[in-house]
Every structure is written in structure tokens, then in C-alpha cells.
Structure 1
């Protein structure tokens, strides 16, 4: 593609990146990116195609180019590090279409770890309201890269990651699309973001988006002949990709690049491209470690529902007059057992699912009114459990399953949050299982993205933290709205009871799903044979017990669940000690080893302490991990408690084999530790 002689160039602060921005002879904006002298992105298209009006793709002239540099630091409310540096050079290019007199600004920010850019549409007479037919952003890669990808879908990320070259995506797509409660794949070469790539020369590239607000979610449609990734936005019920009014902006498009895999995990670019917190007071936002009445329902040991009735309407049933099924887990006596366990082991909270009426007749029915989020089942004494929990210093986490009926949730949201305030619940796990109502809308469309943010901001008015499941994948919005303390938005531990996750799953997720924010992955499964809880279920957890401990470090989240049953933990209290000790908020983080799909080893320093915790997880091959303790303070001695795979450990044949030993370590110490297939290790490092 020919370009004009004039080009705007921008370098990163460390001068390792060079960005070029051009206009073609027909006035089409393009950009390219070079890292250490080699192209990351070749000449790539910019712009938006609009509906029923000339598009913002060509016919432009450049009317200004404004540059600035920023170097500042900020402290997150919670996070992987205490302080985050925000250091970039910026180029803001204003483009005008003489034929229409419309203006579009493209703002580029070049960091030492990559590029962020977005479209900005100032208020202007010629462009007030407009409908996006498709965003035309391209990421033109320099060849056939290795990719870690999920099928492009408007409704779910709950797929196993596929590892292949981009040239193989088309041939692998059909077998990669597995069943889910709601799914709409869009292309034989469509993939989701975050997309992790590796070039043959060892350079790692991660493509995602930041600050997804009032806009449709970005996916990528691969041109597998030319290795160009084309933006593909999630449509609304009418097939439109977005309804905008000026002044407005798109989300940032992000490209993180490094020749060290660990640097991708350490990048804070996505957070830096989000706005500072909107809340003046954040003292009520606290990281949480919790247990919950959940895994026993997932495995089939217990049920969410109080009865076995079908075809019910909440306004026409008196639950006090129907026969209970005897398997309902969210009953007062049983929840007290979880509260007792949490109090005994200094855990913050207990999540209770299935406490409210309506669970008998909710799944896949497209019912507008399924739950009211305020009426408990007869065997769930909300007042007594509130009294009991708070007397023991334990919070209860509320659960709101919307069944995809988002309008119904908005109808009951205020009384539901008021109920939580009344009983001292300070966190809620919400869910969006199934097709979205109103029908035709998708989980990742503009309409639902606005709904998710509405739920978060309304919760903040009640000082409530939100952990949203089946919602859109995160894009760093937790910086702006830090009560968004967790998300699912990926294939979590629950799938271990539905047939299993691949053994390499947790060596990939930090490079993909976690780029935009933490995941409520729900680790800590010690009884890996599901049949121990439900003889009819032959699934098993594709992990050793030791690796389940490591996940509390490698799968970062300020919301961490000890997901197994108290009765199982009581059999392994020496191993459970690590879960009891490991923090959920950190002052510092170091990626010690990393290779996507193979292994990850991370060390983190507990918030406000001198104690460090290390986690290492590997794939089905097993390996020997070699690390240094040079992250420790020189001149000090520490006691390291190592929770490792035991002799003969294997995720399939011997998952519960583990060994615990103690060592004295200093900043000069080194460790060589074997990790079994599907295994790993965890270490607590405590100042002496």
C-alpha cells in the first residue's frame, strides 16, 4: 500500500519501539509498529465503517499532530504491586474529512512495553449521533505466529485454549467449539482477545483492549492468507456494532510486546490506559479469601434448588407447603458448618449459592422473571445466619444468578442491594448463565457492557463489591471501579467437574484472560476425583494437589476461594496451611520463569509485610524448576516452607502425593524443584 512521503513517528521512552502513522494517497489512516528494529505490525488500517452515512475510513487530511510525554506513578486500591509507573510518549493525530467536515482524532500512547491507541470523536455539528457498522482496525502481523486462541464468540469465553500457528486456526476451529449454555461463534477464523502470540524469533505479542465503556467488545477475524487480524465487534439485536453520540471515544486497542514472556505478565499497560478511580472513599473495598457452598453443587453432591418441582412461577407457589428434595445445600445448619470452618482458619467470608427461591425452573427457559434476589428458601434463615456469621467475624457473600435476564436484574437490583446492606453483606457474586434477555442481545455487546457497568456503579452506592461471572472479559476497568473485585469470563475450575480442563490451562490463562484483570478461578481442589462426591461423575481435576496451592500465587486475584469442601480440607490441614497463610493483596511481584503453555513461576510479597509467596505451575510434561531468591532483602534470613509434588505424583494417577519441607533461605539462595506432570509447588517465605 502506497503512503504519502510525510509520516508521523513516535518512539517509546526507552526507544525500543517506533510507531509510524501515515495517510495513504486516498486519505486512509494507517499505522505500523517496530520493536528493536523488527516489524511487530506492518502497515495496518485504521478507521470505522458507519451505517447509512460516509465512513470514517478514508478521505482524510491531517490537521494537527500533538505530542506529549507522561511519567507518573499511582497506587492501586488492591493489586499485584504497591505502586504502578505510568510512563509513555503520546501522539494525538487529528484527521479531518474535507468532503463531510467531520473530525476524528486517533490518540497513540507508546510505552516501554507496547502500544495503546483509540479513536476520539469530538462534539461537532456534522457528527452528532452515528451507528457503527464495523470497526476497521487492523493488526497486520509480520508472519505466521504461534497463537494461544479461543474461538471468536459473542457470548462466552468458556472454551479450552487452542495452541497452534495462525495458519492452522481454520482447520482446528470446528473441533474447538465445545458446548456452552449460550454461544454464538461468528467466523471460521474468528478469535477472541486477549490473544497471545509468539513469533519464531522468540518475541511475544499480546493483543487486547482497555477501558471498554459504552462500546462493543473487540474480537479479531483472521485473514489467514496475509496474517492480518481484523477488528470484529459484537453486534446488537439489530446487527449494529455500536450506537454512539459525540463527544465519545472507543476503548483503547492494546499491543503488548517483549522478548521475555514474563514481561507480558508484568505489564500494567491495560491498567494505565484506564482512568483513575471514580470513588473518593475506597476504604470499604477489601480483598477477600473465602469458602463457599458451591463446589458440592457443581459436582452433583448437592443441589441449588429446594424442591424437584418444574414449571413454577414465583408469584404462584408457597414453598412452605411443598416437599423439599433433601439435597438442598444452602440450608441454615449446613451454612453454619462453612462459617465455622472459615472462622477457624481465618478466612474472610462464605459464599452461599442457592439461598433464594426460583432455582427449580431457571436454566435455559428464557424466563423474564426468574429470581427476585430477596426471598430466601424456607430452610435458609437469613437473619440467624447473619447474626451467627458476624459473631464469628465472618462475612457472607451474596449470590445473584440473573439467568441472563438482565432487565429483571435491573428491576430488582435496588431492593437486592438494600437487603445486602440490611444484613451486612458487602460482596456479591453475580451470574449471567444462558442467552441474554431481551433476546437478540449478546453477552459482549454494547447493551450488556453498559449493564455490567451499571451493576458495578449501583453496587458502589451501597458499598458493595462485585464478582461477575459469565460477564464480559475485563479490560482494566477495576482501576476506575475497584469494587469490581473479580470476574470469571473464562473456563474456570467448575469445568473440572464437567470433563476437565487441559493440564496446561493454568499456564496459559495468565497470558490471555488475566491480561485485563483478575479471575475468580476458584482453586484449592484437594479431592481431585469428582466421584468421591458424586459416584455418577467420573471427571477429575487435571492437577496435582501441590499445583492447586500454587494457583493462589500464579492466578492473581484479590478474591480467592478455597473451593473444596471443609470435610476434605480437614484431612489435609498441613497442606491447607498454605491457603490459610497466602495473602490476596500484594506489594510486589516478580515473574521468575514463564513460557505460555508450559510453565509459570511467580514470587509475590504480601501487602504490608516482609513475607513472600512463590507459586509454580507446569503442563502435562512435568519439569524441573530452577529459581533464585534474589528478590529477598539482602542480609536477612527467611524460613521457606515448600509444598511440593511428592514421590510418584502425577495429575492423572497420583494427584494427592505431596511433601512439605522447610529450609532457611537468603537473597543468595537457589532452588531446584521437580514439578510432576500437571503439577507444581508453592512456597511461603517468612522473615525470621
Structure 2
């Protein structure tokens, strides 16, 4: 990346990005516009530059890799304009991308800042193919399908959520996102003034919609991240978003543990071969606790309805009530006793407004109860105030040894490095949509790893065993189906990253199903990740390592295909591959799989055959 200052018609601060000698972004703007002031950027001259570098390795309690290397070269360049206004630009160059941010020092005339917008834009060197998430506005849960559009075909009024995946033909794959959002507003993209340009757009404040960021100087923008690689799989392997955040503020992270959890919400009020009436009641929740215990899962998630807040108005979760008072149908003391007896820890759902009002007394009480974490829902904003609220929540939760799962959330920004108790979040159109639509299809599933997952883990809630093809699928609230084959569903546990991984279906759906052995076996956190092939909206194959074992997940869209999977990443010695594959008739009977084992080593190449909407899940472990 090169910084430029230009006089005349192109006056201002610009940057250029090249990859392997080819232009990725042409001269693109940098700058800021404050209320009542000329733009900060035009007319600036460089007055100082300081290079630096870093190379360190740190560990994280849960993620795509257990160890993370943070290796970059950096410069910090200071600029001034004719009015003696100052601006600093900091740039880091990694093997897997670059990042830059702007810093406005405390200075006369800018001691208090009211930022209207950033001037930064991204001017593509060619008409790139993009995969945008188009949003209706800034108050969004980031839940929609991804599109495929050339930059030149993007409409000026479209609001694009991040991350944005792009392919610049013959040049590079690029993921645009941001990292370390602190005391700032979330970033979006819109079509710029030029045909091949996108410009930044900031989420406005709720109290002052014409202003994005308000406060005292110094002001530091989040990192603007450009993940760059020669194929899209390398972007998935990157930890650049984590690396751009400060180190952990939690000294002892031993209580932060990844794991799988049963979940009472997905199946609706469904029951089979039980003596109790299903619903939000003690007997039903004990049934799920039993299921977690029998399956070796460390957690059970109790979703909406357990607290009085949710029972007063079942269809309006925004009702604010005391989340420490539970519904009469839920004997919480008994559930806590029972879960402890079964060696299962509980997670609790809550609406964010209730957390906002009661967290100071609820969080210490939850710690006394032995609660593992809180799933917090329906924020649907990333303005400056809400961004600050996220940080306050995870900081307070860490003090009481509570993990956090944000739902109705904006995209990750790497905050989980600083607060690793932020174990996962939604910010994605997940499996829940199949209860009322056919929108989370195999096409959507093959797109998510290359788009939303570039920013971090996603709570997509896999595990549905009522598998269906397009002809037999029916959206329904009770005993819902999934689109795609059973093997496709198993593979999602490898393809999609989430240290809190749901096992979403009703316990009896898994009874007597050999395929469930893969779900019980597959980890929720990893030591290493490799993407072995694929393209967005088409297919993907991911290999993840835990200890000496490897897990390989392959999924396809509605096109049947065979992919070759070389196992050259294996260590020396002999291994056994346990393979859960689409049965030959799985395109007609989506629940049908085949199971086989075969000896393999690092010279082996597997031919993975997938039917329409299909998949393949493999556990590779050293032979005894």
C-alpha cells in the first residue's frame, strides 16, 4: 500500500494497493469530514513517517486456530494542512492483507469532535465481481441472502453490510471489513462517485442522526481491513481481524470453553415418546439437559420464555422486565440443581433491553447460579452508542465469568481477542429462517464461509435431522426441516466456525441415527484450518485439525459434483478415514447417508461425490 498526496484536481490524501505487482485499488481517498469544518485530508502534506514491525504469537481459548501469529510491517505517517490541522495515518501490511486507520490528535479546533462522515473510498482497478449483503438500513440484524453483482452494476442507493467479498479478475480476491471498533460507529459501503468505486458510510447516532461519532479528541477510527489473496479460501484461513485488536484483558481464560449445546427453541413445542407436555417448562428443559449429558455436550441453552419478561407478552420480546425472575412453569432452582448433577452448564437467553436494565444485578446472580453464558438478542444496531454497549456488556460479563453470544447483532470486528468470553455471535441469516421460509439453502450455505465468516464466528445453529430436498421441503415452526442432505448438515460442523456450536434438533430426532456419532465427535474449537477448494455460491471443502485428528467438511449448492480432496496436510504415518457421505439416492431421500472407513495417509486423494444440495463429512484419525 502506498500513500500519496495530490495537488490540484485530485488534491488530498490517497492510497494505492498492489498485490504481486498488480493493481488492486487505484488512487482512493482518505479523509474525514467534521461538523462545521472543511474536510480533513485535502491539501495535507506529509511531515513525518515512522516505520515499525512486529512478529509475535499468542494463544486464544477458542477459535479457528489455537495459536495466532501476528506478523506485519507498519508505518505511521503524520500529515498537516495549511491551517496546521493534523492527521495521522497508520498502515499495517500482513501476508494476508493490509489495514489502515486514521488518528486525529487533540489539537486546537478539534478538542471535541463531531464526525459527519469518512471520505475514504475503494476504487477498484477493474470491474470486480462482488458478493454484497444488501441491507434496508442501519438498524439491521445482518440477516439476508448474499447477492452477486459487478461493482459497475451496484445501485447508488444500496447499503452494503460488511464483510464484502470481491474478485478482481486476474488480480486478487479481496475481503473488505473493519476491526477494533471502539468509541466509533459501524461502517458500511455505498456506490461512490466513480463507476468502479465504493465509499464508506457510517451508522448515524440515534440522538443526532446527522453525526456518526461524537466525543473528545484524540479520535481513532477502526482499522479498515483489506484481506487479499490469490484464491478465496486463503481469506477464510486469515486471522487478520483478530490481530488488529488489542490483547486479551482477561488474565485467566481457563473458564472460557468452547463446546456444543442442545437447544430447546428450534423444534418448537414438539415431543415424541415422552410423558410430559412440551413447552417452556421444567420437564422439557430437563429432557434437553439429559440429552446434553448423554451426548457428552457441556452445555444446554434455554431460549426465550424462561423469564417473566418473555411470558408477559410472548410475541413482544422487547418487553422490559426483571430477567432474574423466572416464569412459574420453570423451576429454575431445580433446573440448576439438576444440570449440576448431570455435569451440564446452562446458557440463558435474554432481550438486550432487559440486560441493559438489569445486568448489574443479573450477572453476579448468574455467576452464583453457575450459568455458563448469556445469549443476548435483538440489538440490531451498530451506532456509536450500541458499539460501546457491546464492550460494556462483555467487560462486565468477564468479571462474573460469563460467556456471551450476541444475536440480532452486527458483524464481528475481532473484539473476541480482547474479550475472549465473547465466544460467538449471529449477524447472519441462519437456520432459524427454515421455520418459515426456504431462504437458508445450500447456495446460501456455500456462500457464508466466503462472506460473513471472514469477520469471525457465526452462530448459524446447524444440526437439523429432518433433511429435505427442494421438492419435499415445507417451512414449519414445529418439527422444522432443513434444506439439503443429511451429509450436508453434518459437514456444516466443519465448514462453519463457532466455538459455541448448536445441536439444534429435538433429542429424539437423533435417537438410533449413526450419523449423530459425527456430531458427538466433532470439536467446536480448532488448532489449524485449511480451505482445500471452492467458490462462493458453488461449493467449499474445509479441513480443520484438533490435536492429531483432522475433520473435513464438503458442501455443494444445488449442483451435484465430485471434488478431489488431497490429504497432503496429514502428518507421517497411517490414518483411518471415517466417511459420512451422500447415499446414491440422497437427492430424492435427503436423510440417506452411507458410512465407510478406509486407510489413508498423506499421499491419499479422496474423490468426494455430492448429490444436489449434498455434502460429505470425514473424521481422519491416526490408526491404532
Question: Is the structural similarity TM-score above 0.5?
Answer: yes
Trace 1:101-112 onto structure 2 (pairs within 5 A): 101-112=84-95
Deviation at 1:358, TM superposition (A): 3.0
Does residue 20 (structure 1) correspond to residue 9 (structure 2)? The answer is no
Structure 2: stretches of 5+ with no match in the other structure: none
Alpha carbons of structure 1 residues 127 and 448: separation in structure 2 relative to 1, 3 Å: same
Tell me if the contact between 2:464 and 2:481 (Cα under 8 Å) persists in the aligned partners: no
User: What CA distance in whole angstroms lies between the structure 2 residues aligned with 1:400 and 1:670?
Assistant: 47
CA distance in 2, matches of 1:128, 1:327: 62
Alignment RMSD (CA, Å): 2.2
Residue 500 (structure 2) pairs with residue 562 (structure 1)? no
Question: Are 1:73 and 2:57 counterparts?
Answer: yes
Task: For structure 1, list consecutive stretches of 5 or more residues without a partner in the other structure.
Answer: 1-18, 171-186, 303-325, 434-441
**In 2, distance between residues paired with 1:392 and 1:533?**
36
Q: Which secondary structure does the structure 2 equivalent of 1:504 belong to?
A: helix
How far apart are 1:111 and its partner, in Å?
A: 1.2
- Which residue of structure 2 lines up, in the alignment, with residue 29 of structure 1? 13
Aligned residues of 1:147 and 1:197 also touching (Cα < 8 A): yes
Pair 1:370 & 2:320 matched? yes
SS at match of 2:205: coil
CA–CA separation in structure 2 for the residues paired with 1:192 and 1:478:
20
Query: 1:647 is matched with which residue: 558, 561, 584?
Result: 584
Return the match for 1:139 from 93, 118, 122: 122
Change (3 A) 1:130 1:546: same
- For the Cα contact (< 8 Å) 1:350–1:397, is it kept in 2? yes
Q: How many Å apart are 1:190 and its aligned residue?
A: 2.4
Q: Which residue of 2 aligns with 1:392?
A: 342
- Matched-pair contact (CA < 8 Å) for 1:592–1:601: yes
For the structure 1 residues 536 and 393, does the alpha-carbon distance in structure 2 shift closer, same or farther, using more than 3 Å as the test? closer
CA deviation map 1:434-475 (0-9, x unaligned): xxxxxxxx6121111111111111101101000010122101
Residues 28-86 of structure 1 show CA distances to partners (whole Å, capped at 9, x for unaligned) of 11101111221100000000111122331323221101112222222222222232222
Report the secondary structure of 1:45's partner residue.
strand
1:42 is aligned to 2:26:
yes
* Superposition deviation, residue 140 in structure 1: 0.5
Within a 5 Å distance, the mapping from 1:473-512 to structure 2 comes to 473-500=411-438, 501-512=440-451
Specify which of 520, 537, 550 is matched with residue 612 of structure 1.
Answer: 550
**Cα distance change of structure 1 residues 536 and 418 upon mapping to structure 2, 3 Å threshold:** closer
Contact 2:71 2:94 in 1 (8 A): yes
Q: Deviations over 1:207-264 (max 9, x none)?
A: 1001111111110011385210100001112211111322231100011111122111
Instruction: Assess, with a 3 A threshold, how the Cα gap between structure 1 residues 361 and 167 changes in structure 2: closer, same or farther.
Output: farther
Within 5 Å, which residues of 2 pair with 1:91-170?
91-99=75-83, 101-152=84-135, 153-156=137-140, 157-170=142-155
1:270 and 1:414, CA in 2 relative to 1: closer, same or farther beyond 3 A? Answer: same
Q: Distance in 2 between matches of 1:106 and 1:198?
A: 27
Kept in 1, the 8 Å contact 2:270–2:479? The answer is no
In the alignment, what sits opposite 1:333? 283
Deviations 1:470-518 (A, max 9, x none): 1221011111110000100110110121212132112111121111210
Change (3 A) 1:570 1:533: farther
> 2:418 aligns to what SS in structure 1?
coil
For 1:76 and 1:198, locate their aligned partners in 2 and report how far apart those are by CA, in whole Å. Answer: 31
Q: 1:579 aligns with which of 498, 510, 519?
A: 519
Residue aligned with 2:433, SS: helix
User: More deviation in 28-37 or 539-548?
Assistant: 539-548
Counterpart Cα distance in 2 of 1:276 and 1:510: 25
Match among 177, 183, 188 for residue 208 of structure 1? 177
Instruction: Tell me by how many angstroms 1:519 deviates.
Output: 0.7
Cα deviation code 1:610-652 (max 9, x no counterpart): 1111111111112101111111111x212211011111212xx
Q: CA deviation at 1:147?
A: 1.1
Conserved 8 A contact 1:362-1:370: no
Tell me if the contact between 2:23 and 2:171 (Cα under 8 Å) persists in the aligned partners: no
Matches within 5 A, 1:299-338: 301=270, 329-338=279-288
4+ residue runs over 4 A deviation:
360-367, 529-540
For 2:388 and 2:533, the matched residues in 1 are separated by: 38
State the distance in 2 between where 1:533 and 1:385 align: 34
Q: Encode CA deviations 1:291-344: one digit per residue, 9 max, x unaligned.
A: 0111023xx759xxxxxxxxxxxxxxxxxxxxxxx9762211111111111111
